[in-house]
Amino acid sequence: MLLAISNGLVVGMGLGVVFFGLICIIFLIWIMGKIMNVLVKDKAPETKSAAPVVRSAAPASASAGSDIPNRPEFVAAVSAAIAEELGTEINKIQIVSIKKI
């Protein structure tokens, strides 16, 4: 005797398995986040007394500012990119010079 499996049952089981799997993944990520928070809190945060100084390869010259259009916007964008890469705030870095190559 053959059992007839309807299309609705197949679709329902497929959706159920997918959403059950997604809920399990969410739950596992939540648990891992809690575990990592406990492990990170045990370590003392490193404190840096001085702001990192980013120096370019060439020294700045008086005419260097005239060849970069929208210099304040450019400096802001470079500062944001460097701060993001270093994992710090923009006001904690100091850019000494920027020269167009």
pLDDT tens, residue order, the chain (101 aa): 567 889 999 999 999 999 999 999 999 999 999 999 888 876 655 655 555 565 554 444 444 445 777 888 888 888 889 889 888 888 888 888 877 67
Domain coverage including residue 30: 7-45
Domain contains 82: yes
Same domain as 58, residue 37: no
Domain contains 100: no
How far apart, in whole angstroms, are the C-alpha atoms of residue 2 and residue 9?
Answer: 16
Give yes or no for a contact between 59 and 97, defined as CB atoms under 8 angstroms apart. Answer: yes
Give yes or no for a contact between 88 and 52, defined as CB atoms under 8 angstroms apart. Answer: yes
Model pTM?
Answer: 0.38
Domain contains 1: no
Domain contains 86: yes
Domain contains 14: yes
